[in-house]
Structure 1
Amino acid sequence: MGAYIGAKIIVGGEVYGTACFADTEPREDPFVDAERFFVELIARLGGHAIERRSYERELTQREERLNEQREIYRAVIDANFDSVFRFDTDGTFTYASESVRDLLGYSPAELDGQPITVTHPDAQTTEWAWKQLSQILSGKPAEARDFPLKAKAGHIIHTDIRGVPVYDGSVPESERSEDDIVGIQVLVRDATERRQREGLISVINRVLRHNVRNEMSVIRGWADMLAEDLDTEQATKVTAIRAAAKRLLDLTESAQQIEQNREISPELEPTDVMPLVNRIVTECETRYPDVSITVDAPEEAIAETLPRVEVALFELVDNAAKHGGTPASVEIDVRVSDLQVTCRVRDDGPGLPNTERGVLEAGEETPLVHGLGLGLWLSYWIITTVNGEIEVTDFDRGTTIEIRLPTPSRE
């Protein structure tokens, strides 16, 4: 080339190319400052234009991705929850999904800026809600079952809710703490139909239990009188009648226990399992003096659970004592790790039938026709509703059932 002048085009801090002027013919006069400044200006303007175009393209792509994520989020919420609320850290509504119209009769705009108490039917509800909000603001999700909300028209709607903290988006996830929480998001599901259905089941359950207990008491009473009047051989048959009546009475008691422990939104707390185990052993040794019960456990075993796990553990030990060998031998083994407390109950009996194993392996309801199956169902229900796990493990002899409970968080 005979003449050339150019300048680098910088995009994003890196060289993108050049802006230049060239000719095949030589130039007689040297380039002056104004010409050099003009070329630099063209290069800078070109770099800025390219940066702006790239930024606009990236912004468009980000917006498309964000819209796609919003749509996925909306679809998930619509499929699983009736409404979504967001509050600031002071408990003031900052957002309500459009579906709140159908749930509570408010428009989203009517709730915006209102305190959460506007949807509470009484002070007791508010007190309980603030306790849950405090937990969420410490970084831990919270759940509630049959939580009452007052609709705009004044009637009460019972809901299942789950609240989670909302963090400052500018803080990396790995660095977040409770100081970075800027709000609370609550997912709400209308529980009215489920509550009505469970109420009906509860009434039927109580009526059936009452009638069965009354009729079985009559049967046992007549059986006792027959046993006194009959000879030894015939009295043996009466003993079978009395045993069957007792099993049915025990069945009604297990059904009552299940109903009393059906709550599925517990507030877990650090609980020492060992006092529960010791009480169970003492009671079972009193009930079954011929049964050998041994315990291998530490002095303390703290789990994040509730004291009602004692009912589940008792069912397992009691069943092992009743259905183990002759006489039965029961071993209770408790181990503690950083993540969980493990309790194993082992007997030397004939092993758990497959129909009963299904209760613990899949939570199947069909084995409820068996007395033993109902006790196992009660254990399964309680353990799984306190975030625990329960299963039948394979050993050389008898039956071993293992319960795993989480340990308290060390955060």
Structure 2
Amino acid sequence: MDATSPRERLYAVFADADLDVEEKIDRALDVGADHLDLPIGFVSRIEDGTQRIAHATGEHDRVQPGETCPLRESYCRHTLESEGLLAVQEAAVSPIDQRAIDAFGLGAYIGAKVVVDGEVYGTVCFASREPRDAAFSESEELFLELLASLVGNALERRAYERDLKERTERLEREKRRFEGIAETSFDILFRVGLDARFTYVSAAVERILGYQPEALTGEYFTEFMTEEAAEDAATAYDRLLAGESVENLELDFRARDGDIVVIAVNATPIDDGGTITGIQGVGRDVTARKERERELRVKNRAMDEADVGISIADPDEPDTPLVYVNDGFERITGYDAEEVIGRNCRFLQGERTDDASVERIGDAIDAEESAVVELVNYRRDGTPFWNRLRVNPVYDERGDLSHYLGFQDDVTERKRTERLIALLNRVLRHNLRNDMTLFLAWGSGLRHGDVEDPRETGERIERAARELSALGEHARELEQYARRDRDPQRLDPRALCEAVRETHRERFPNGDVEVHVAAERDICAGAELREALAELVANGLKHDPSDAPQVSVSVFDAGDWVELVVSDDGPGIDSVEAEVIATGEETALMHGSGLGLWLVNWIVTRYGGSFQIAADDGGGTTATVRLPAIGAGEAVADAERGPTVLFF
């Protein structure tokens, strides 16, 4: 092949670095037209069913740069449909569509597809108005295929160079923008190369860590972290190089003065046309925030571990719902946080909740004032308790009301003691006043000789004195129990009942105490429950007028409870006494005259139980004590219940 052969001329054209792609294609068309002896040559661009002439050589009105026509009316359509190139010696007797012949009037034609990046770009073609005398040779066809390949490569290279230039310009603009923002940013902006060294660090690093940016540039990023943080950072770096992003990664850096500074890092890979060339990101100093979070955790832990209940309500939401309750609130009320968040705290109110106290709290909330009330609330299981409720408004930094802070303090024990002391004083005054009136009357009768039987009167005085003494002893016992700490424990109901039965054999030798234990679980209460049960049994034996009094004690399982039922055949309890116990309420016109039943009630309700007593229709009295049950493998702490209201 000599130096002036058509193929060599094509190579020389496309190898000329001084020519741009447009000039190379134009010159290549001239070389092709000369070699093939066809005066018309062109490169077409095929898009959306349209042929557009991109380059052309020769004289033809319809074959000039910028001319377009429907693809169906062009010779190129058949080129695109051919397996290889299309060579037509005489168009009139070829597969070329007559519409194309009419439109362009070309007699001879040869064309090949131009492929760019694996897609058909268009065609490169040569033609003449007159048919050719001879068919195209194999050498001419190979020449055209070479030309189509060179044109495709040139267009592909141009597209690549344009993309590369645009990416480079874009990266440069991004770099300038990044660094411009970085130098004025409050946070640290950085870049790290594929060798894990800083390639750029913004000026903010001096304020945050005390280093000049130049001191970090070129250094491994892990050199400025604690050992643990360096391990986390290296793991994140591998993820970034794999194409992932990293968000809010908190790392401990060592500042120049040795202090630890916590920096939250957000980073992304630098993607250059599908190739990761490094990473870039931003680091924010969150040391102060972490310290505030630590302090907040301490405060939250203190709030959660506080004995009192703490709740926070949002006045900006409809019905002022709770948005937070602590563990103390859960312990006091029996409600889990998930059950109460989003609800107004009035769910703690019930039948015995004082309306005036509720109204006072409502007025304070409306007036954005603090208030303290003591009122009866109800636990999740329905048991009442005395709640000392304190409500305080909380204001934000602008002075606007943001929340209400509530403190719930279970003061049931104190209220029980206060009411017990009031009960003792009331009953003792009442009975002492009545008995002293009798003593005065009996004494006056004896002194003036107005009694028929002094001996009987003396016995009355002795009996009244013994009853008054017994009343005082009951009052002393109740006071002792009030001062004694609660001590819930596991009590065997059978052993409990047998111990009470043995206690009364000497006092009531003719009496009979029948015990029936059907419960399979133990009782969770204090040891003083034995005194309460003994009081009920003694009452039944004492008030039975028969020579052989009988009392039965039965123990049953009742759901989460164990019931002790004490029945006797006596005359039946006084309706006033029973009503006071049943309602848990005393009034000036209705109150109990004795303390024995209050002793029972005090002990039972102290351990979360309940006590009811009533006269039977056929005679006798039935007392029912209900206390928490405790299973064989259950801990006392899980089974015990708090004290309930003694009376209202």
- TM-score range (shorter-chain normalised) is 0.3 to 0.5
Please, what TM-score do these two structures have when normalized by structure 2? 0.31
Structure of higher RCO (CA pairs closer than 8 Å, 6+ residues apart): 1
- Structure with a larger share of its residues in helix: 1
Structure having the higher Rg:
2
